[in-house]
Amino acid sequence: MVNVLFVCLGNICRSPMAEALFRDLLKKENLNEKIAVDSAGTGSWHIGDPPHKGTLGILNKYKISVDGLIGRLLTKDDFDKFDYLIGMDESNKKNIYKITGKPNHPKIIRLLDLTKHNRDVPDPYYTGDFDETYRLVSEGCRALLEKIRNENNI
For 6-41, the pLDDT digits (tens) are: 999 999 999 999 999 999 999 999 999 999 999 999
Q: What percent of the chain has pLDDT over 90?
A: 98
CATH of 2-13+24-152, one of 3.40.50.2300, 3.30.930.10, 3.30.390.10, 3.40.50.880: 3.40.50.2300
Binned at pLDDT 50, 70 and 90, residue 152 comes out as very high
Binned at pLDDT 50, 70 and 90, residue 61 comes out as very high
Residue 72 designated active-site:
no
**Stretch 60-89: mean pLDDT:** 97
Which one is catalytic: 78, 89, 120, 123? 123
Residue 141 designated active-site:
no
Paired sense of beta strands 84-87 and 35-41, if any: unpaired
Domain spans of the chain, in order of start: 2-13+24-152
Return mean pLDDT, the chain.
97
The predicted structure's pLDDT at residue 153: 95
Alpha-carbon Rg for the chain in angstroms: 14
CA 16/CA 70 separation, integer angstroms: 8
The predicted structure's pLDDT at residue 118: 85
Look at residues 1, 2, 5, 38 and name the one whose alpha carbon lies nearest to residue 108.
5
**Stretch 120-140: mean pLDDT:** 97
Q: Are 36 and 3 in contact (CB under 8 A)?
A: yes
Which one is catalytic: 14, 23, 72, 110? 14
Residue 13 designated active-site:
no
